Structure 1
Amino acid sequence: MTNSIQQTLIAQTIKAVQQLYSADIPESQVTLQETRKEFEGHITIVIFPVTRFSKKSPEQTGREIGEFLQRNVPVISVFNVIKGFLNISLADQHWIELVNTKLIDSSFGTFPANGKKIMVEYSSPNTNKPLHLGHIRNNLLGYSVAEILKAYGYEVVKANLVNDRGIHICKSMLAWQRYGNGETPTSSGLKGDHLVGKYYVIFDKEYKKEIDALKEQGQTEEDAKKNASLIKEAQSMLQKWEANDEDVIQLWKIMNGWVYDGFEQTYKQLGVDFDKFYYESNTYLLGKDIIQEGLEKGVFFQKEDNSVWIDLTDEGLDQKLVLRGDGTSVYITQDLGTAQLKYDEFKMDESIYVVGNEQDYHFKVLFLILKKLGKSWADGLYHLSYGMVDLPSGKMKSREGTVVDADDLMAEMLETARTRTEELGKTEGLEEEQKASLYNTIGMGALKYFLLKVDPKKRLLFDPNESVDFQGHTGPFIQYTHARIKSVLRKASYDKSLALAYPKELSVYEQDLIQVLSRYPEVLEASAKEFSPAQLANYAYELAKLYNKFYHEESILKAEDETAKNFRLHLSAVAARTISESMRLLGIHVPERM
């Protein structure tokens, strides 16, 4: 369905109601949708809203509107009415014109620059442990949304705010000092983020031992947690860090360096990148000026203990602390300051925070405060809230048995891809290096597609085995379809500069393929506006499924004549290009051969 035919049908339906029933129907009440596959037709007009003007049954109204449209819209070939639905079939000339004027042009589906700048902030890891399964969804969502927005015409800045300070990193540092014996990533053979994560776990284990010992001496659990020597030392280390103690800062830099090296490897394997890094160690003191500004404007109020608050009860929220009585920051203080810093640096029109749904309340408060402070750019802030990812029980345990490690999961995906690909015999004639590249392409494609095909807001269950099914609603199915098309084009020695010829009559499979190909710009636009890669992912699957149907029903290489062969090859090339571009925007590579 294309915008031009939609607009024509909407305009003509309004005219039909005027001429047939002497009434004006609002454009918003003319509903068009794709005809369901079990019925004949391409576009369906929902008739029910018109019956209040016609005062006739939906069937009779549908027939009268259909006859009017057929007289006035030349590309309508036939129509049928089923209950309150008018199903319209479009003539071959419409589909041929679409191919000729739009689809065959390699720039079809590209959007010009819209002059707007948008920041997408994602990943936001802590430097005391490796990235995990939740981070994978976060990174893939952020990267894909950024690429989709870029394709839609935005200037995009990909940002990463790294949580590189605080008690959590001091715990890892202290445990390494006490129990590490000078261990490094090189000496241990561990990635730097895994090594630092190992000491975070050791801290927790030893801390629990101390708590249990103090409880045995008669202390309550709450007192034991406060009095354990390990936590006191970690807090002392944090104070030294904030006082810029040379030895503590030096150790912090070394261990964070290990983590960044580890993160870089994970990001590379995931295929994500960033234009700008922000570090909490540089931003944690920001925001205090904004608090002062808010006090002067009467947006905040001060309590007797000097703590600063905002009252959001009129907005259905509660009172929120924005600065402690001793003048130290809380998270919201820092986030207010960082939001201002980002705007001052990039002057973006919009800013998206890709953060899990457990932070919904925090972002409601943050955006509301910025609006109350009169920040002109606050209306452009958006929290892309996403649900958690679960694994089937019994599948993959992490090193600590609690959180699924990102590197472990990716390694598992490559192994699953290798096993499944070899079982299906899809590696014949490939060199070892080519096989390794193919397993990586399939494994990472399976992981990414499975996580991106679900609406970001929904919680999802990720099954590694199901994701590598070559016949299901999966990345490998779409990748295999692309490879199949490329194989057809190679066998035919396809030349895209070959003049396009049209058969006398199009089959229903050719029409369906043209229809879904023509929807690509609409889907890209909807994905961009709703910050939802899921729409594009599901479109790519629908296109791959439809191409396979076309491939099985219509002979391409042995077509009835050269004109039909030529036309089907051109259609195949457009399908390959559209699948490739859709998957690229999801961060997924499609192979030429499989």
Structure 2
Amino acid sequence: MHAHNTIKMNLQDTLSNNVKQAVKSNYNVELETVEFQATRKEFAGDITVVIFPMLRFVKGNPVQIGETIGKYLVENVTEVDAFNVVKGFLNIEISDSYYLDFFNGVKNDKTYGFVSPTVNEKAIMVEYSSPNTNKPLHLGHVRNNLLGYSVAEIIKASGKKVYKTQIINDRGIHICKSMLAWKRFGNEETPENTGLKGDKLVGNYYVKFDQEYKKEIQDLISKGQTEEEAKKNAPILLEAQNMLLKWEAGDDETVALWEKMNGWVYEGFNVTYKNLGVDFDTLYYESNTYLLGKEFVAEGLKSGVFVKEDDGSVWCDLTEDGLDKKIVQRADGTAVYMTQDIGTAIQRIKDFPDVGGMVYTVGNEQDYHFQVLFLILKKLGFDWAKNLYHLSYGMVDLPSGKMKSREGTVVDADDLIDDMATTAEEISEELGKLDGYSKEEKKVLFKTIGLGALKYHILKVDPKKRILFDPKESIDFQGNTGPFIQYTYARIQSILRKADLDANSKLNVVDIELHPKEKELIKQIQLFPEVVQNAAENHSPALIANYTYDLVKEFNSFYQNVSILGADNDTEKALRVQLSNMVANIIKNSFSLLGIQVPERM
């Protein structure tokens, strides 16, 4: 177990061993396991032993058995103060001193809950974003980026080394469409002379291509071609296909245009990434990886993992594994996406020999693709292939309906980020929350609140679920929202400023009776390290988000029921200020895992 968890785990182990001992000495039965659960709110107690599973081995009345074990624990375990039995549940009350000891041990730990990576532990590579270089990032990319970045941070906090990466889809027919449209209609437009972000400029030409293509199709249909024929024979499409062949052949002029336009896009993307608060350690480009994987087709044929058909195409037959047959090389010898993905995965392990697993953040329409990819890599004999995970996620819908990029009606990531800040401004002004702020301070704060709302709203949902994203609803200052939690953090900072006590003081608070609300708060704090580990294992930022909301609700209940600054004596005041400080620390830490900033005042 992890160092921070030892106190909590040791108590459960101690209780478990003593329950077994009680059963052995009273009933002469060896219990394999003891089942615990949190005590229900309406009963006195902190942890509950479930008696029912024991009845298979211990004959008797569950209440009676509970009483017997309870007495034994009170006599033999210093941390146990009292007990009560409700039907088949033994509710155990743990001493205040146990909780105080725990709290005194962690309260000044700024990185509480986070584990430092152990030497020689294998690293994990997390891939996310992976856009096409023919248009700007949109709402779907926003969910992808937030999820990938957050999962990377959570895995890092759980004690592993992490590399963040993306594969940039910088080649192919769709890229040539933007290039051709710019060449034909662009009049030498550049980001500099138009004032447009590079990704937006190139995206406009992708839309332009589509408009022209549709016109040409209509023209050919009017001259007697079928729609099918017209789609294939439209001159502008044929020219784009020809451009791709020229690019593949290394034609100087085509490559120069490709480099120039992709350069514009990267500058635009970087602005969006910076605004969104995500980053990458290493980048892969499809233009460098699209020929990878071919050598492994030969390997796979040798080892019998792949089979060659009569027409020369190469396949992997996965029917025995419950999947179907998958092509890995066309009859003309060209690679398919699957081949590239195989090659890229292998290349990454070559580039980073300490990587022992990978997480791919890609929408759920690719579920089958990744099932096949992971299985093929296993069959090719790579031992790291068992540590591959597809972080599959659902669509994001806006109340106004679906989005399509070709028609140019897509929800643009930059616009969304700006809109969130504006919405935060409108709502904050309505509530009159921000008196005494300079214009500059307000601007920064609105961005923090707006982005916090967006990120929290998206990350609090299980990644696999589809989301309906409503900007207004996400900026509520009440309920399970980013701003509600940010507001609580700011409120605690204000308490700490007024407390004129060093919240990080080394003063240990002992021999004090805990208020039930203080105890509940310490219990909630105890859970944090385990939540980080669970979130990492499950690749789920939602576990962090919802834990933080529970912590904040617990804090607000504490805040309403006890007086922090008007405590009866200095010891009590010190404890409450330190508790508040610890809660703020955890909010800040868990929000950092979600990529969300917290304002010092609000």
TM range (shorter): over 0.9
Map of 1:497 onto structure 2: 505
Provide closer, same or farther for how the CA distance between residues 40 and 213 of structure 1 changes in structure 2, counting only shifts above 3 A: farther
Provide Cα deviations, 1:145-187, integer angstroms capped at 9, x if missing partner.
1111222221111111100000011111111122222222222
Map of 1:258 onto structure 2: 264
**Is 333-342 or 488-497 further displaced after alignment?**
488-497
Provide Cα deviations, 1:97-116, integer angstroms capped at 9, x if missing partner.
11122334445323132222
Residue type of the partner of 2:467?
L
Provide Cα deviations, 1:2-61, integer angstroms capped at 9, x if missing partner.
22212222222333333333333322xx33222233433222223221122223344444
The answer as to 2:574 corresponding to 1:570 is no
C-alpha distance in structure 2 between counterparts of 1:311 and 1:172, whole Å: 37
Residue type of the partner of 2:295?
D
Provide closer, same or farther for how the CA distance between residues 321 and 153 of structure 1 changes in structure 2, counting only shifts above 3 A: same
Map of 1:53 onto structure 2: 57
C-alpha distance in structure 2 between counterparts of 1:274 and 1:467, whole Å: 27
Provide closer, same or farther for how the CA distance between residues 132 and 504 of structure 1 changes in structure 2, counting only shifts above 3 A: same
Q: Is the 8 A contact 1:398 1:408 kept in 2?
A: no
The answer as to 2:409 corresponding to 1:405 is no
2:242 corresponds to which of 236, 243, 248 = 236
**Is 85-94 or 437-446 further displaced after alignment?**
85-94
In the TM superposition, 1:343-358 aligns within 5 A as 343-347=349-353, 348-358=355-365
State the SS of the aligned residue for 2:383.
Answer: coil
**Is 180-189 or 392-401 further displaced after alignment?**
392-401
1:157 corresponds to which of 163, 175, 183 = 163
1:41 corresponds to which of 20, 38, 45 = 45
Map of 2:390 onto structure 1: 383
Provide Cα deviations, 1:51-103, integer angstroms capped at 9, x if missing partner.
22223344444333333333332222233333433322212111111112233
Q: Which runs of 5+ in 1 are unaligned?
A: none
State the SS of the aligned residue for 1:44.
Answer: strand
- How far 1:474 moved relative to its partner? 0.7
Map of 2:548 onto structure 1: 540
Q: Is the 8 A contact 1:103 1:518 kept in 2?
A: no
- How far 1:536 moved relative to its partner? 1.1
Q: Is the 8 A contact 1:356 1:387 kept in 2?
A: yes
Map of 2:3 onto structure 1: none
Map of 1:423 onto structure 2: 430
Q: Is the 8 A contact 1:51 1:61 kept in 2?
A: no
C-alpha distance in structure 2 between counterparts of 1:357 and 1:476, whole Å: 29
The answer as to 2:80 corresponding to 1:76 is yes
Residue type of the partner of 2:67?
R
C-alpha distance in structure 1 between counterparts of 2:133 and 2:532, whole Å: 35
- How far 1:325 moved relative to its partner? 0.7
The answer as to 2:364 corresponding to 1:360 is no
State the SS of the aligned residue for 2:386.
Answer: helix
Provide Cα deviations, 1:227-266, integer angstroms capped at 9, x if missing partner.
1111111101100110111111111111111110110010
Residue type of the partner of 1:328?
T
Map of 1:64 onto structure 2: 68
- How far 1:443 moved relative to its partner? 0.5
In the TM superposition, 1:188-199 aligns within 5 A as 188-199=194-205
State the SS of the aligned residue for 1:377.
Answer: helix
C-alpha distance in structure 1 between counterparts of 2:62 and 2:178, whole Å: 70
Residue type of the partner of 2:274?
K
The answer as to 2:491 corresponding to 1:521 is no
C-alpha distance in structure 1 between counterparts of 2:408 and 2:290, whole Å: 32
Provide closer, same or farther for how the CA distance between residues 414 and 33 of structure 1 changes in structure 2, counting only shifts above 3 A: same
The answer as to 2:215 corresponding to 1:209 is yes
Provide Cα deviations, 1:343-366, integer angstroms capped at 9, x if missing partner.
001020111111111111111111
C-alpha distance in structure 2 between counterparts of 1:312 and 1:136, whole Å: 34
Map of 2:227 onto structure 1: 221
C-alpha distance in structure 1 between counterparts of 2:215 and 2:36, whole Å: 66
Q: What is the TM-score normalised by the length of structure 2? A: 0.95
C-alpha distance in structure 1 between counterparts of 2:506 and 2:348, whole Å: 50
2:141 corresponds to which of 108, 120, 135 = 135
Question: Pairwise CA RMSD of aligned residues?
Answer: 1.9
C-alpha distance in structure 1 between counterparts of 2:438 and 2:288, whole Å: 49
2:457 corresponds to which of 450, 454, 459 = 450
- How far 1:394 moved relative to its partner? 6.4
The answer as to 2:105 corresponding to 1:101 is yes
Residue type of the partner of 1:113?
P
State the SS of the aligned residue for 1:384.
Answer: strand
- How far 1:475 moved relative to its partner? 0.7
Residue type of the partner of 2:314?
V
Map of 1:300 onto structure 2: 306
Provide closer, same or farther for how the CA distance between residues 400 and 415 of structure 1 changes in structure 2, counting only shifts above 3 A: farther
- How far 1:292 moved relative to its partner? 0.5
**Is 42-51 or 431-440 further displaced after alignment?**
42-51
- How far 1:528 moved relative to its partner? 1.4
- How far 1:523 moved relative to its partner? 0.8
State the SS of the aligned residue for 2:236.
Answer: helix
- How far 1:472 moved relative to its partner? 1.1
Tell me the matched-pair count: 592
State the SS of the aligned residue for 1:350.
Answer: strand
**Is 420-429 or 300-309 further displaced after alignment?**
420-429
Q: Is the 8 A contact 1:398 1:405 kept in 2?
A: no
State the SS of the aligned residue for 1:362.
Answer: helix
Q: Is the 8 A contact 2:97 2:511 kept in 1?
A: no
2:206 corresponds to which of 200, 206, 209 = 200
Provide closer, same or farther for how the CA distance between residues 389 and 507 of structure 1 changes in structure 2, counting only shifts above 3 A: same
Residue type of the partner of 1:65?
I
Provide closer, same or farther for how the CA distance between residues 107 and 446 of structure 1 changes in structure 2, counting only shifts above 3 A: closer
Identity within the alignment, %: 59
1:337 corresponds to which of 338, 343, 350 = 343
Provide Cα deviations, 1:346-397, integer angstroms capped at 9, x if missing partner.
0201111111111111111111111111112211211111122122236999
Provide closer, same or farther for how the CA distance between residues 35 and 393 of structure 1 changes in structure 2, counting only shifts above 3 A: farther
C-alpha distance in structure 1 between counterparts of 2:378 and 2:324, whole Å: 17
State the SS of the aligned residue for 1:485.
Answer: helix
Q: Is the 8 A contact 2:36 2:48 kept in 1?
A: yes
Provide closer, same or farther for how the CA distance between residues 46 and 463 of structure 1 changes in structure 2, counting only shifts above 3 A: farther
Residue type of the partner of 2:122?
K
Q: Is the 8 A contact 2:111 2:589 kept in 1?
A: no
Residue type of the partner of 1:356?
G
Map of 2:445 onto structure 1: 438
Residue type of the partner of 2:410?
V
Residue type of the partner of 2:351?
E
C-alpha distance in structure 2 between counterparts of 1:233 and 1:249, whole Å: 15
